Each structure stands twice: as C-alpha cells, then as structure tokens.
Amino acid sequence: MRALDISEVVEQTGLRPSTLRYYEEIGLIKSIGRQGLRRQFAPQTLMQLSLITLGKSAGFSLDEIAGMFGEDGQPDLSREDLRTRADDLDKQIHDLTVLSKALRHVANCSAPSHIECPKFQKLLRVAKRPKKR
Amino acid sequence: MRALDISEVVEQTGLRPSTLRYYEEIGLIKSIGRQGLRRQFAPQTLMQLSLITLGKSAGFSLDEIAGMFGEDGQPDLSREDLRTRADDLDKQIHDLTVLSKALRHVANCSAPSHIECPKFQKLLRVAKRPKKR
DNA sequence: ACTTGACCTCAAGTTAACTTGAATTTGTAT
DNA sequence: ATACAAATTCAAGTTAACTTGAGGTCAAGT
C-alpha cells in the first residue's frame, strides 16, 4: 500500500489540511516521511482518523484520544479501560435517550406550557448535577 | 416562593458562582433583582439551569441553548424544532451505541490485534465523515 | 525560463466557555 | 461600631482545538 499525500487524506476524511498538520503537531498522528517538502501518510492513518473523529463525537478530548493509541498508532487500551469507556458511553447514551424521549413527548404534549407537563418535570429531575468529565 | 441567593443556586446546581454570573452576562439566565449588591434568582431559574446542563451534555452550545428559551425563561421551541432536535439526538445516540458495543466487543475479542477484528472493522466504516453540527 | 498550484513553516489570531484576581461593597454577628 | 464573610464589578487570563496569513519551496506544465 502506498503512502498518501495530505490531499488524499483530506479527500477521504473530510478534515482540513490545517487540522491534519495540527494533529501531527500535537502528536496525535504521525506522517511516515516526506516527498520533498510534502508529508506522506500511511494508509493506516485513515483508520486512525476515523477513530479520532468517532471519539470526538463521543465527547472525548484530543488528549484523551491520544492516550488511546500506542506508539505504533494502533489502539492500545486494556480490556479494563475499554469497559470503563463503554460504561461512560452507556451513561451518556442513557441521558441522551431520556432527553430525546422528553423532547418528543413535549412535542406532542397538550399541556398548556411545557413546565406543567409531568414528563417534562421528570426530565428535570434526571438533570441534576454536571458530570465529572 | 422566595428568591434565591447566588450561593443557594450554587448549592443546588453544583455550578460555580462565576459560571452563573457568566450565564447572566451572556443573557442565558436572568436575575430577578438585587438585595443590595447581591443578585437574587427566581426558583424558576433552577429548572432552567437543569435544562442548560442537560443541553450541554447533549452537545449543544450555550448559544443554541439560549435560542431554546423565550423571554420569560421558559422553554420555547416549536413542535417542529423539538422533533428536529430529537432526531439529531437519536442519530447521536445511535453512533454512541455503535461505539459502545464495539468497545465492549473488542474488550472481549480474542483477535490478536483490534485491527484484525471484523467488528472493529465495521466500526470504522460507521465513522466516515464529521457531522455538520 | 517561467508560471502555477499544491504543499510547506511559523507566528499569531479566533471562538467558546469559563476562571482568576484585584479592588470594593454590604449584610450579619459580635 | 466594627469586623468579617460573602457578594460585587471589570479587565485580563486560560484552555482546547483549530484557522489564518505571510512568506517560502518545489515539481510539472507551457
């Protein structure tokens, strides 16, 4: 498999060149060498970027994400860690589900104001304290 | 119902005083008056803050959240909007679910490296492009 | 030979969401 | 009356995650 120009990576990931350079600068990804001035990326990097994007959408910081990769750029988490991450996600999923359902309910609810709707009340009880993360 | 001191709001929400002042500064919440120098908050504001916290955890920006309240501080979204928000959330929930399941699978997977695990491969296919939001 | 376009570097700028600190005021307790 | 803790304001600082811009390089096409 041949190395990829930055433009190809941009093409395939939808990220901007400046973002890729930034990611490299902070050590999140690595380029495999240069062709003249130009960075060359390993095809591997594409999957890494997929994971990074996914991780971000799950609310992880770049720093946290960086910690999930080993020196080789391959995901490197203990089974323990993986389960902890999954547990976190499940909690987040649960909260979002409550919110989504509440929104849908309110959309169909006939109570004169949202505040008076009991489901809405319940929603507020779920949202008690900010997370640790 | 009597008005609340900032310290009581802090107590009940877990937010910091500086955060509350900041929220007021950007018009996200309002204080109902002053006792000397001191802001007084309506009890109503507590529920508003619950919603703000919940909204944040769902990935909304303070700006977006501000747009969800009317002048009176009560939630103010058309049924249409509510459904759109719910749809967004459901999509996000779906992605997070995929991620969580994949993590759990990988935690139990016996493939020598995660990359070789087919479920993991599938996960990468899900994570294609960044969101518009 | 020359222009072009895609890349490069490096410093500085940007936005969101707060936090911090210094200087001041005020309500309550002694 | 005085001290003190708890507020206040306002400007400036902070962090994450990028973006922008100026100025430079290089391979390829005309």
B38-41, strands of its sheet edge to edge: B4-5, B38-41, B33-35
Q: Which residue of chain B comes nearest to A54, CA vs CA?
A: B127
pLDDT class for A131, splitting at 50, 70, 90?
A: very low
- Cβ–Cβ < 8 Å for B43, B1: yes
Poorest-pLDDT segment among A12-21, A56-65, A105-114, B17-26: A105-114
Which comes out higher in pLDDT, residue A11 or A77? A11
The confidence score (pLDDT) of residue A22 equals 98
In the predicted model, what is the mean pLDDT of chain B? Answer: 88
Closest partner CB to B106 (pick from A82, A100, A123): A82
Distance of CA A49 to the CA centre of its chain: 11
CA distance B58 to B109: 30
CA distance B104 to B121: 14
Q: How many CA atoms lie within 13 A of A102 on its CB side?
A: 24
B25 C-beta less than 7 Å away from strand D: no
pLDDT tens, A9-54?
999 999 999 999 999 999 999 999 999 999 999 999 999 999 999 8
How is residue B34 written in tokens?
């002053």
Residues 6+ apart with CB under 8 A from B88: B133
CA distance A67 to A76: 8
Which comes out higher in pLDDT, residue A124 or B57? B57
pLDDT tens, B52-94?
998 998 889 999 999 999 988 888 888 898 999 999 899 889 9
How is residue B43 written in tokens?
């009890």
Which comes out higher in pLDDT, residue A103 or A38? A38
Task: For residue B54, give Cα distances in angstroms to A13, A14, A21, B100.
Answer: 31, 30, 34, 21
Asked whether residue A129 carries a pLDDT value surpassing 70, the answer given is no
Burial class (CB in 10 A: 0-12, 13-18, 19+), B13: buried
The confidence score (pLDDT) of residue B7 equals 97
B62 C-beta less than 7 Å away from strand C: yes
The confidence score (pLDDT) of residue A117 equals 83
B111 interfacial to chain A (CB closer than 8 Å):
no
Rg of the Cα trace of chain A?
21
pLDDT class for A86, splitting at 50, 70, 90?
A: very high
In the predicted model, what is the mean pLDDT of chain A? Answer: 88
Q: What mean pLDDT do residues A115-129 have?
A: 74
